[in-house]
Amino acid sequence: MRVLREFDPWRGELCTCPKKFSFSPYTGCGHSCLYCYISSYIRDPFSPREKKDVLRKLSMDLREIKPGSIIAMSTSSDPYTPPEEDMKTTRKAIEMIRGAGMRLLVMTKSDLVARDSDLLEKAAVSFTITTLDEGIAKILEPGAPSPLKRIDAMKKLSGRANLILRLDPIIPGLNEDFESVIEVAREAGASHVVSSTYKAREDSLKKLENAFPWLKLHELYSEGTRISGYLYLPYRIRRSLMEKVRKITLNLGMTFATCREGMPEMHSPGVSCDGSHLSSVMIRDAFV
């Protein structure tokens, strides 16, 4: 395989994702989120660039996997990173994936995804929204469109794509406005919520501490544990946060799942944690 990869999140022992392939048209991401993990392993992580011969390689890879496979765009760099507006590489890739009869899960924090609504009917589209507080969002996700623009994009896609709210990462003391985020996402058309607490790497932890020193994150995470190369909050704190999000979500008639928390018993029956259960097979001229 050249640009498609079997998804294995750092050999994560707590991952509950179904079998799927990940695909990133770009290396790096211009959203420059402080909590982003790619800065620990990608050179120039916040200078996005198209992968070399990416569409040709994707075409070859699509012929080697079974139709109906799940393809997730993207698990490292946002497929709608700023250069996509002019390059349209993601749009061209979606056209190819659709023509190959695959199931598609798009994960983004950009309103640019609404541009491709004509290609995303019956696909699953997951929007990361960490807070509705514009001031916090601007510091936390400096290169990303505002939360309100993402909500507006959800509304534009509602009724075509199947929408997911990714409330992730939750950072204790910073973005605990769960109820308002979930309520607004539901009104915009989301039916499933995926949530997770911040999993710390040393570089991102340092950035967050510098930006929000009153949170005392190092002190908090020092009480936790290291799992699959990441620092986790103490279990009792993670459990409490996920229970709060779950209660709000279910009360609003939505389904719920966690991501890499080791709490699969909290998931709604019959759902995939990532929301890929909401995607249908994508066929050249129709969807089934």
CATH number for the domain including 51?
A: 3.80.30.30
Largest CA distance in the chain: 54
Return per-residue pLDDT of the chain as tens, 288 residues. Answer: 899 999 976 566 799 999 999 999 999 999 999 999 898 889 999 999 999 999 999 999 999 999 999 999 998 899 999 999 999 999 999 999 999 999 999 999 999 999 999 999 999 999 999 999 999 999 999 999 999 999 999 999 999 999 999 999 999 999 999 999 999 999 999 999 999 999 999 999 999 999 999 999 999 999 999 998 899 999 999 999 999 999 999 999 999 999 999 999 999 999 999 999 999 986 555 433
Place of tokens 């997951």: 126
> Is residue 108 exposed (0-12), middle (13-18) or buried (19+ Cβ within 10 Å)?
buried
Does 284 reside within a domain?
no
Does 185 reside within a domain?
yes
Question: What's the token pair of residue 118?
Answer: 């004509």
Q: How many CB atoms lie within 10 A of CB 83?
A: 19
Does 136 reside within a domain?
yes
Does 194 reside within a domain?
yes
**What does residue 253 show for φ and ψ, rounded to 5 degrees?**
80, 20
Q: How far apart are CA 107 and CA 129, in angstroms?
A: 11
Does 121 reside within a domain?
yes
Does 283 reside within a domain?
no
How many distinct structural domains can be found in the chain?
Answer: 1
Does 118 reside within a domain?
yes
Domain membership of residue 121 as a residue range: 5-278
Does 11 reside within a domain?
yes
- 61 three-class SS: helix
Q: What angle do CA 132, 207, 220 make, to 5 degrees?
A: 80
List the helix and strand counts (H, then E) for the chain: 9, 12
